[in-house]
């Protein structure tokens, strides 16, 4: 039975709230500010779409938009953005550690990252840390993985 | 950047093609046949919705619907249904092995299962098998997990 959990995400081609907040978070971390043009570029959408979504995010209390200062995350927006960025990182490191091709990792991560509870994130983080710190286990699993393809 | 992969899934509240095929697959495995009433019950939707979707699945070549024989999966439909059911099983066993609460596991799995490539499924399967067969490692990870909460 499909879960009825409310999600800030669509997966129907157009990036949803969680993707915007993740991207704004990443830009602020990397550059200190998030410009519409950079958000548009990173999400592969038009600047008009970004402006529309930012108005929606502002109305919903996730960001504050000021014409000359750009987009600022509220505490709630910052929490969601950082959370998705963390899920993105953990999933990516876990899968990339096995040597999967980056495009596949990226596509899977972009989909999966919206469906991960705190508990599941804890499990995936533990697995990632264990594998990154346990070369013997990683070697064993990679050998098995190579045998599957 | 969100992935542009085409998906047979919506996550916007109403179960999508992949969920129907998974459910029909499961019913056929369990009971030998898939009735509209059972599909509706398992997906939490009306029988009218199921009938509509089955006509769509029939038109797209995933099922054949015969009034008195019920729903039969085509080879393509059977492949998709079995594939989603397998992703569901692997994710569920992997997460449930850590003792996460079943409702959370179910919600995460129902979301994640639509975003898992063959390569990622192989990795998750390996991890599941390793953890199910390695009590020492599992004990160590569960102890760490308990320390996180
Ligand atoms: Mn992401
Ligand atoms: Mn499922």
Quickly state the pLDDT bin for B145 (edges 50, 70, 90). Answer: very high
- Closest partner CB to B115 (pick from A2, A108, A149): A108
Cα A101 to Cα B59: distance, rounded to the nearest angstrom: 35
* β-bridge pairing A63-66 and A70-73: antiparallel
Residues of chain B with CATH 1.10.60.10: 85-148
Residue A71 φ/ψ, nearest 5 degrees: -100, 125
Of the ligands numbered here, which is closest to the C-alpha atom of B18?
2
Cα A93 to Cα A128: distance, rounded to the nearest angstrom: 7
Fold classified for A83-148: Diphtheria Toxin Repressor; domain 2 (1.10.60)
B110/chain A closest Cα distance in angstroms: 5
Q: Look at residues B143, B133, B136, B130 and name the one whose alpha carbon lies nearest to residue B98.
A: B143
Fold classified for A17-78: Arc Repressor Mutant, subunit A (1.10.10)
> What residue in A sits closest to B94 (Cα-Cα)?
A123
Cα A21 to Cα A73: distance, rounded to the nearest angstrom: 8
Environment class of B65 (CB within 10 Å of its CB; exposed 0-12, middle 13-18, buried 19+): middle
Complex confidence, ipTM: 0.86
> Please, what is the Cα angle at A57 between A52 and A60, to 5 degrees?
130
Query: Mean pLDDT for each consecutive 10-residue tract of chain A (149 residues)?
Result: 46 72 96 93 95 95 87 95 97 97 96 96 97 96 91
Residue A24 φ/ψ, nearest 5 degrees: -65, -45
Cα A112 to Cα A88: distance, rounded to the nearest angstrom: 9
Query: Do B120 and A101 make contact, defined as CB atoms within 8 angstroms?
Result: no
Q: Look-up: residue for tokens 């043009």?
A: A37
> So what CATH class is B85-148?
mainly alpha
Cα B47 to Cα A108: distance, rounded to the nearest angstrom: 32
Is residue B55 predicted with pLDDT exceeding 50?
Answer: yes
Is residue B144 predicted with pLDDT exceeding 80?
Answer: yes
pLDDT digits (tens, 9 = 90+) for B86-102: 999 999 999 999 999 99
Give me the total of CB pairs closer than 8 Å, taking one residue from chain A and one from chain B.
137
Residues of chain B with CATH 1.10.10.10: 17-78
């Amino acid at each position: 039975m499909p879960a009825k959990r409310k999600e800030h995400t669509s997966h129907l081609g157009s990036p949803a709230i969680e993707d915007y907040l993740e991207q704004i978070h990443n830009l602020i971390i990397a550059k200190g500010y998030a410009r519409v043009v950079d958000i548009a570029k990173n999400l592969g959408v038009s600047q008009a779409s970004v402006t529309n979504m930012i108005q929606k995010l502002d109305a919903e209390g996730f960001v504050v938009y000021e014409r000359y200062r750009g987009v600022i995350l509220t505490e709630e927006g910052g929490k969601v953005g950082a959370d998705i960025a963390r899920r993105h990182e953990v999933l990516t490191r876990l899968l990339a550690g096995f040597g999967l091709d980056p495009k596949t990792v990226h596509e899977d991560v972009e989909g999966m990252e919206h469906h991960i509870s705190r508990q599941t994130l804890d499990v995936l983080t533990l697995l990632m840390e264990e594998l990154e710190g346990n070369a013997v286990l990683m070697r064993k699993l990679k050998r098995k993985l190579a045998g599957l393809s």
